[in-house]
Each structure stands twice: as C-alpha cells, then as structure tokens.
A and B are shown apart, each in its own frame.
Chain A
Amino acid sequence: GEDVEQSLFLSVREGDSSVINCTYTDSSSTYLYWYKQEPGAGLQLLTYIFSNMDMKQDQRLTVLLNKKDKHLSLRIADTQTGDSAIYFCAERENSGYSTLTFGKGTMLLVSP
C-alpha cells in the first residue's frame, strides 16, 4: 500500500530558509500536496504539484519533485515565526476518485 514518510521535527532561525522533506512509495501518485496545521486548527492547503512537474513556486514557497527518487520537498524562504506549525505532505493516486494518504507531519519551530 501507499506510504508517506516525513521527518518529525525541524528547527530554524527567523529569516533562514526551511526545507521540509517527504518521500512516498506509490509510483502511480499523480498529485502531491502540502498542508499547514496551526495548533488547534484544521489543515490549510499551501500548494500542490502534479507528477508531470518538477518544480512549482508560489511567493515564499518552492516545491521540488524528484519522481525517480519519489522525493518531494517544500522550501520556505525567509522563514517567519508565523510559519511555526505542523506541515503535512499528502499524495493521491491517479485512479479515479481516490483518497489522500498523509504523512505524520513535520513540526517546524521558528525561533527569533
């Protein structure tokens, strides 16, 4: 079955770049998503990428996809204290109306 792996914790200083990594096992994954969760809140969609793309940039966020290694990364430029949250990677198969498989999330802590 599908599996999505993330490192559990990342700590950076304000103003630095953050890179959160994710690996997935399902080679038929077509859509890959990044969500952000602040304490006590739901998940907020940050960005997503199709498997026929290598990179997607959206303001301070850059997503890189290495299909050969099944590796996805989220880079946050000029990280701010408001970026402190849990970040979830999720993948979706290209098989009709399929569901998402989530990683366990990476807690990002940004210190002043």
Chain B
Amino acid sequence: DGGITQSPKYLFRKEGQNVTLSCEQNLNHDAMYWYRQDPGQGLRLIYYSQIVNDFQKGDIAEGYSVSREKKESFPLTVTSAQKNPTAFYLCASSGREGYQPQHFGDGTRLSIL
C-alpha cells in the first residue's frame, strides 16, 4: 500500500540530546513537510521541501534541522537548542500540482525524560 511511514511512534529525549524522527513515503510525491502539534493548537509548519536537496524554513524552524537526500525520505532532527520539544510531530507529502492535497503519516509523540 502507498503511504507515509513515521517512526518511532513514541520517542523520549534526555536534556541536551539531539533526536531524529524518521519520515518515509512511497507515494512518489515531490514535496514533504514537517508539522508540530501542541494540545488545543492547530498545526504549525516547521520545515518543508519541494525537491531533493532543497528545503525551506516554516513558521517555527528554530531548534530543528532537516535533510532531503532522497525523494522518499525527509528526516527531522530535534536539537538540544529546542527548549520545549514535547509535542506531536506530523510528516506529510504532496504532489507537485497545486490542487493536490497533503497526505499525512500517523505521527511521532516526543516527550522529555
């Protein structure tokens, strides 16, 4: 089945540690996105990538980094500079044409130990 796979489902971070969230898609989509969701909030865009080896900052990029070395993969690193990382992280992808909607993975919940 085509879809978006995020792993792990749950992740714990110690103080001062960097952690990496995985996102893989087999939909042959050009664009990929990372969002952060906090309780009672909508989705806030962290980073997005429209093509391999290129990505742009979203609204809340500070404390996060990404890479896009392959079309299928868009990992997100939550660095120690992100002081409030506890949240639900969602990855999405979409086709190149403007009308094509974003499709989402099942999310990763990150907590601080």
List the interface of chain A (C-beta within 8 A of B): 4, 8, 30-31, 33, 35, 40-45, 48, 50, 88, 92, 94, 96-100, 102-105
Contacting pair A97 B101 (CB below 8 A): no
- Interface code B13-39, partner A: CB below 8 Å = 1, 0 otherwise? 000000000000000000101000000
Q: Which residues of A contact B42 (CB under 8 A)?
A: 4, 88, 102-105
Q: Which residues of A contact B2 (CB under 8 A)?
A: none
B96 in the interface, Cβ–Cβ < 8 Å? yes
Q: Which residues of B contact A104 (CB under 8 A)?
A: 40-42
> A97 — nearest CB in chain B belongs to which residue?
B50
Q: Which residues of B contact A33 (CB under 8 A)?
A: 101
Q: Which residues of A contact B99 (CB under 8 A)?
A: 30-31, 48, 50
Contacting pair A41 B107 (CB below 8 A): yes
B110 in the interface, Cβ–Cβ < 8 Å? no
B103 in the interface, Cβ–Cβ < 8 Å? yes
CB of A10 to closest CB in B, whole Å:
15
8 Å CB contact of B104 from A8, A44, A98, A99: A44
Contacting pair B43 A45 (CB below 8 A): no
> A8 — nearest CB in chain B belongs to which residue?
B40
Q: Which residues of B contact A42 (CB under 8 A)?
A: 4, 6, 90, 104-107
Contacting pair A88 B43 (CB below 8 A): yes
Top 5 A-B residue pairs of the complex, sorted by shortest distance between their CB atoms:
A42-B104, A104-B42, A43-B104, A102-B42, A42-B106
CB of A22 to closest CB in B, whole Å:
11
8 Å CB contact of B90 from A30, A43, A92, A105: A43
